[in-house]
């Protein structure tokens, strides 16, 4: 998946493209880059190897064999080195642990400047997109949900909620205590998802972390991304989630040379004692506010087909449920959240 510069039209600037930008983090003592590429590179330095601390420009220069002055110019928004500087950008991406797909996303940011960034979505347009998402999920007789580039779960149909034992009471509780994010869901000890996976569980967790890092890469300068990342890495309420994220993140980084694609075949032990065996089919939909990911669960055997059929029968009279806010400018950073890095300032 390459970050898409969206179709031109009413939502995009004429003759160009845009990306939604809301609240990029400010770094005390560091000049905020004038380009999306510069800010994302700065954010990557700050978070690429979180267990080792911040990667300095000098260290990145040594790892990438790119002059420190060049890295500084990129972060501060200079366009003078392009397009001849693309090999250097690739070297920087490799030094930061990006795989080929992430590198492609990273390089696609070269063409974005401040004039390509929109800071507000059209509420009517966004609502129409979400209603169409709900309509599609209602018409599917399979467990399905839709996430965005942060892997926040925007909408889930009734069959998916039943599969994960999301009763109305549990949903109400989760809205207050759990981030509506797919990575958070699969790692959380409250959800129990990780313990339900029967085969290659750790590989599956690491692959999902890799997908999260790749799909959210264009937004890693945003304070919402930083809030989400730190809620996983430093979660004090759920030490099991925190440990799982640390291990999976390290494994995902070690696999940086490989593809972000992975075998999406699951064997899941349900609370009823039954075992569901299914494929996860992921389909992209590009919108004016980023890419949406439709995830459908396709049964891999007759027993799972029967289980999903029961879920679908019960789903007839239940509408899909919205979980996470969307687009980016609708997402919420708690007012009492303070970044771990004291140099970061959150625009309020």
How much is the pLDDT for 262? 47
State pTM to two decimals. Answer: 0.88
How does DSSP assign 165-234, residue by residue?
Answer: T--HHHHHHHHHHS-SBHHHHHH-TTT-HHHHB-SSHHHHHHHHHHHHHHHTGGGTTBHHHHHHHHHHHT
Instruction: Give the tens place of pLDDT for each residue, 132-185.
Output: 999 999 988 899 999 999 999 999 999 998 888 887 777 777 777 778 999 998
CB 211 within 8 A of CB 293: no
Given pLDDT bands bounded at 50, 70 and 90, which one contains residue 257? very low
Query: Taking residues 87-94, what's their average pLDDT?
Result: 93
Same fold, 19-120+338-345 and 123-330: no
For residue 157, what are the β-bridge partners? none
Residues with Cβ < 8 Å from 198, sequence gap 6 or more?
267, 268, 269, 275
The answer, yes or no, to whether residue 284 has pLDDT greater than 70, is: yes
Instruction: Give the tens place of pLDDT for each residue, 32-70.
Output: 667 889 999 999 998 888 777 789 999 999 999 999 999
Q: What CATH topology corresponds to 19-120+338-345?
A: 434 Repressor (Amino-terminal Domain) (1.10.260)
What are the extents of the domains in the chain? 19-120+338-345, 123-330
> Mean pLDDT over all residues of the chain?
84
How much is the pLDDT for 85? 78
* Domain 123-330: which CATH number of 3.40.50.620, 2.130.10.10, 3.40.1800.10, 3.30.450.180: 3.30.450.180
CB 323 within 8 A of CB 146: no
As a whole number of angstroms, the distance between CA 269 and CA 317 comes to 27
């Amino acid at each position: 998946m390459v970050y898409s510069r969206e179709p031109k039209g009413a939502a995009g600037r004429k003759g160009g493209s845009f990306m939604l930008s809301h609240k990029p983090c400010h770094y005390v003592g560091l000049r905020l880059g004038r380009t999306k590429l510069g800010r994302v590179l700065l954010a990557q330095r700050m978070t690429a190897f979180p267990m080792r601390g911040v990667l300095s420009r000098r260290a990145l220069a040594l790892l990438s064999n790119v002059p420190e002055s060049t890295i500084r110019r990129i972060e501060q928004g200079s366009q003078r080195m392009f397009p001849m500087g693309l090999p250097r950008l690739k070297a920087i991406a490799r030094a930061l642990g990006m795989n080929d797909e992430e590198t492609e996303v990273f390089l696609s940011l070269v063409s974005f400047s401040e004039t390509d960034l929109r800071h507000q979505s059209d509420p009517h347009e966004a609502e129409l997109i979400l209603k169409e998402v709900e309509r599609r999920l209602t018409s599917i007789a399979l467990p399905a949900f839709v996430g965005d580039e942060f892997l926040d779960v925007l909408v889930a149909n009734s069959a998916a909620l039943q599969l994960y034992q999301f009763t109305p009471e549990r949903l109400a509780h989760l809205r207050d205590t759990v981030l509506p994010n797919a990575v958070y869901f699969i790692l959380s000890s409250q959800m129990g998802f990780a313990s339900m996976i029967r085969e290659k569980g750790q590989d599956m967790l690491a692959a999902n972390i890799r997908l999260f890092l790749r799909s959210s890469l264009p937004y890693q300068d945003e304070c919402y991304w930083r809030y989400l990342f730190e809620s996983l890495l430093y979660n004090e309420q759920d030490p099991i989630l925190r440990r799982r994220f640390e291990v999976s993140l390290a494994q995902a980084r070690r696999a940086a040379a490989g593809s972000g694609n992975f075998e999406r075949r699951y064997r899941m032990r349900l609370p009823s004692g039954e075992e569901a065996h299914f494929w996860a089919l992921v389909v992209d939909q590009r919108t004016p506010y980023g890419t949406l990911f439709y995830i459908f669960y396709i049964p891999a055997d007759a027993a799972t087909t029967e289980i999903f059929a029961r879920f679908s029968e019960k789903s007839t009279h239940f509408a899909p449920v919205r979980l996470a806010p969307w687009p980016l400018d609708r997402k919420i950073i708690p007012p009492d959240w303070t970044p771990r890095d004291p140099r970061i300032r959150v625009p309020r």
